[in-house]
Structure 1
Amino acid sequence: MMHLDALGLSEAIRDKKIDRIELFKQSYQKLDQLNGELNAVITRRDKHALDEAEHFIDTGQPFAGIPLLLKGLGQSLAGELDTSGARLLQNNYAHQTDNFVKCLEQAGFIVIGQTNIPEFGFKNITDPELYGPAHNPWNLQYSPGGSSGGAASSVAAGIVPLATGNDGGGSIRIPASFSGLIGLKPTRGRVPVGPTAWRGWQGAAINFGLTTSIRDTAALLDVLQVVQPAAPFQTPLIKPSFSQKSKLPLKRNMKIAYSIESPVGTTVSADARQAVLEAVAFLNERNIQTEEITNPLSGSELMRDYYIVNSGETARMFEELEHQLGRSVTIDDMELTTWVIYQAGLLLSATDYSKTLSHWDQASAVMDRMFERYDAYLTPTTAYTAPRIDAELIDKATIQQMRHVTDLKKTERLDLIYTFFAKSLALTPFTQQANMTGQPAISLPTYVSATGLPLGIQFIGRKGDESTLLQLGHLFEKQQQFKMLFDSKQH
């Protein structure tokens, strides 16, 4: 039954085709069978979850009593570990359930555990020193991506039908591309935040999930969309619902812009180019206009701005942690990448930070003007298929520089971040811009390479217009363009 999506499982339980308790036992049996190789799940709550399933009251929730895995970063459930994949927090427990998780519980989900993440979510792969690397169920020698890598691995393997993630630079869409799943990053302000982390990298980071169907994606967005008066970012509610809008036909005379060139000037693989060109041909066959364009934004400059915000937010985070710990943190408390980002943040000025946010706003305005001409913007989700687990993404010379980051000046520290992320960014240069502009973006699993690894295509929409992205996803899905792991196994 686990090949069903989450809504399908909920329907099957209501129709007495499957027992809810049996469903939970199946999830845990799959965990027992697969997690030793995948290392996708880092905590389990077997007793609590089974008890909650036994006492679950079905009041018509869309996801009535469905097992769910939370990402082990930025999604707090009271009484459970809250480590962010960091050694420094390996014994840290959540004191309260955050608003995002509360909404999931109200929608009927029951949390069965947490998924693997890179330390503090800084990477596009999942290889924390605390837990070890997560593996891709398509091929265990490869990464499922990051930072929601454990979530992607667990859904692609069929442990759960849906898992939550968050996306501050592609952390839902990248693992969706690498693992053959649907990954939506909603519009900034669309889903619940708080009661502590209200801004999430100044609105760049947003919680959502990785799914296997458009209807699950739309229904999840329906239960999560909210207007919170206390939240710094607000997005109007979409009515009657995303579920209904996703099934509507696409507008007449739709026009889609597309690009297969990296926004930061790096090489794009033949697979990524082919994935987009096949999607363009598919759209053209259905009388949807497409036009190849040049990205109107300076990707390299925006990435430098992106690293400034990451660094500033990291310095603030460690200031709070030092206060809680009652001591200063050192290089031995964290992974080297985290240390360098933190040290860069310590030298930033308020002017640096304010100027960067202004650049983000200007970029958002540029992209909004582009959507006066186009209804969506198509790119590869990632420039390549997943990297191997043992891929060298930072060379030894750069690592040596990173160990001496405190000897460097402000600009040199920021340059070092760009340098050590260069190989990683070359793999995934297409996702970060939507985080900075606040636009919705979705990765669809439409392509599998000759080596048997998936690669997604990305549609970016105008702020507030997830509906068009879901309609496009529904079109590809209805015409059987999706390629997921359980499909490949059946053939």
Structure 2
Amino acid sequence: MSWDEWTRHDAVALAGRVRAGELTPAEIAAQAAAAVAKVNPAVSAVVEVFGDAVADPAGNGTALDGPFAGVPYLMKDLGPTLKGRLQEMGSLLMRGNRAAADSFLAGRIRQAGLNIIGRTTTPEFGVCSSAENPAVYVTRNPWDTGYTSCGSSAGTAAAVAAGVLPLSHATDGGGSIRIPAGVCGNIGLKVSRGVFSIAPGLSDLSGLVSIQGCQSRTVRDTALFVDSCRGGAPGEFMPFWQPEEPYSTLIERDPRPLRIALSHEWGAARPTPHIVAELERAGRFLEGLGHHVEHVLPPIDFDSAFAAQTTCYISNFAQTIANLLAPRGLERPPEGLVEPMNIRLWEAGIGTSYTERARMQAVFNTTSRAFGDFFEKWDVILTPTMAAPTPPVGTTELLTISDNPSVHDWFANLWRHFAYTPLANLCGIPGISLPFGMLENGLPMGIQALSRQAGDGLLLQLAAQMERALDGRWNAGRRPAVHVTG
């Protein structure tokens, strides 16, 4: 295929051509690998391509009779493990680390017919806002390589935006599907709790804020991914739910007229006037589709919620790092192999008491109940995906190579930039970033829609309605400067 033809196909279209006998899984895997070679020198999105998976998709464990029929797929270098493959988590400490077994979700991805051909970049342990440590790699935004693609699903966002492939793995512990999707012009859905398993290492009860997922360029690709890969592993602590009908058919219908709350002053977040104007433009667009849109602020104690979220992240990441140190016979994170802020996170969080976590959980509960009450009156909350423009590469104060001595101050700075995404993780509600807006400098700007627990299908319906109204022209039909067609 020409590169123009390649990028006109989403994953559903590629799978259809494979089933029709017009293409083979090996051919499309080879084209995706060629696309990596074409754009990766400029954006540094892909850590490794698995040559054997490109040459022999069936030998990679891919169920070629699955709904995606061998469509190539990249796995973020964090989260689901692949037996025998490297998983280095963006860290010098983890260089050479190979997984002993597939995770449950990796098996579901393969059963869906997705051919995992490589791994994408992530910040160290997925902690910070950008995959940006010169000692490891610096992932850049394909729209303008002077800017970051944000994190922690940095490489996936850049690869999908640059036309490498239509669909790729991402994870979201506080916005890491939605934020990089927003700044790179992709679709990024963070699902509700009880959709994707994080077995065997964690559960939705012990992982608490961590969600698996994908980024894509079309709503139907995301819908089919959720339909095909959802479900709990044996022994889950909580039930995994199923919708009344597959999202792939649900999105063919417009949603009923919705009550949509436009909202942007969350805690200390005060977005620029241009970002507010783009949010309001999205609101007017939705009004034109028949929805009721009104400026409303959810009655949330944002300061308490962000403080509880900070406790969660500090203690969670401290334990994550501790679990990586123990098998290596290390008592503390070694300087030079672990980034400075992650060392300080470990120091601040490793002694977190049960009492502190109980207080955190109490705020999680009150915040979740408050959002639940709000969604009794409103169907969707519409926000920007970020409160500030995309950071330039080298914005060190947002990175884990920062020299800020205070982890709490470092997190407070993150919340000022990334206020709108993390509370969905706290509450377990769904959120989707859609490539509707544009920053003053021409970079994409995501618009986020949130809904009640298990409202994932409604968000996808709304996104599909917008996509149809735009004639599929997300990002106003523009392409990034770094793109396989270039």
TM-score where L is the length of structure 1: 0.91
Correspondent of 2:129 among 124, 127, 152: 124
Alignment-mate amino acid for residue 144 of structure 1: S
2:349 is the alignment partner of 1:345:
yes
User: Do 1:86 and 1:128's aligned partners in 2 also have CA atoms closer than 8 Å?
Assistant: no
Distance 1:114 1:153 in 2: 13
Sort the Cα spacing of 1:335 and 1:28 in 2 relative to 1 into closer, same or farther, 3 A: same
- The alpha carbon displacement at 1:224 in A equals 1.8
Report the counterpart of residue 466 of structure 2 in structure 1. 476
Alignment-mate amino acid for residue 357 of structure 2: Y
2:214 is the alignment partner of 1:209:
yes
Moved more, 471-480 or 15-24: 15-24
TM-score where L is the length of structure 2: 0.92
Report matched runs for 1:377-396 at 5 Å.
377-393=381-397
Distance 1:55 1:90 in 2: 23
Sort the Cα spacing of 1:200 and 1:17 in 2 relative to 1 into closer, same or farther, 3 A: farther
CA deviation vs aligned residue, 1:181-225 (integer Å, no higher than 9, x gap): 000000012112211122486321110000111101111110122
2:174 is the alignment partner of 1:141:
no
Sort the Cα spacing of 1:18 and 1:394 in 2 relative to 1 into closer, same or farther, 3 A: closer
Correspondent of 1:439 among 424, 429, 438: 429
Distance 1:59 1:320 in 2: 36
Sort the Cα spacing of 1:356 and 1:346 in 2 relative to 1 into closer, same or farther, 3 A: same
Sort the Cα spacing of 1:400 and 1:51 in 2 relative to 1 into closer, same or farther, 3 A: closer
Distance 2:220 2:450 in 1: 19
2:19 is the alignment partner of 1:14:
yes
Distance 2:193 2:304 in 1: 21
Distance 1:103 1:130 in 2: 34
2:280 is the alignment partner of 1:289:
no
2:358 is the alignment partner of 1:354:
yes
CA deviation vs aligned residue, 1:274-323 (integer Å, no higher than 9, x gap): 22101111121222111211232122221221121122222322333332
CA deviation vs aligned residue, 1:87-112 (integer Å, no higher than 9, x gap): 11111100000011110000001111
Report the counterpart of residue 264 of structure 2 in structure 1. 260
2:479 is the alignment partner of 1:488:
yes
User: Do 2:179 and 2:386's aligned partners in 1 also have CA atoms closer than 8 Å?
Assistant: yes
Report matched runs for 1:43-442 at 5 Å.
43-52=48-57, 60-199=65-204, 202-252=207-257, 254-261=258-265, 263-332=266-335, 333-393=337-397, 402=405, 416-442=406-432
Secondary structure of 2:144's partner? coil
Task: Give the unaligned 5+ runs of structure 1.
Answer: 403-415
Secondary structure of 1:188's partner? coil
User: Do 1:215 and 1:243's aligned partners in 2 also have CA atoms closer than 8 Å?
Assistant: yes
Task: Give the unaligned 5+ runs of structure 2.
Answer: none
Secondary structure of 2:93's partner? helix
- The percentage of aligned residue pairs carrying the same residue is 27
User: Do 1:201 and 1:310's aligned partners in 2 also have CA atoms closer than 8 Å?
Assistant: no
- The alpha carbon displacement at 1:395 in A equals 10
User: Do 1:86 and 1:119's aligned partners in 2 also have CA atoms closer than 8 Å?
Assistant: yes
Secondary structure of 1:478's partner? helix
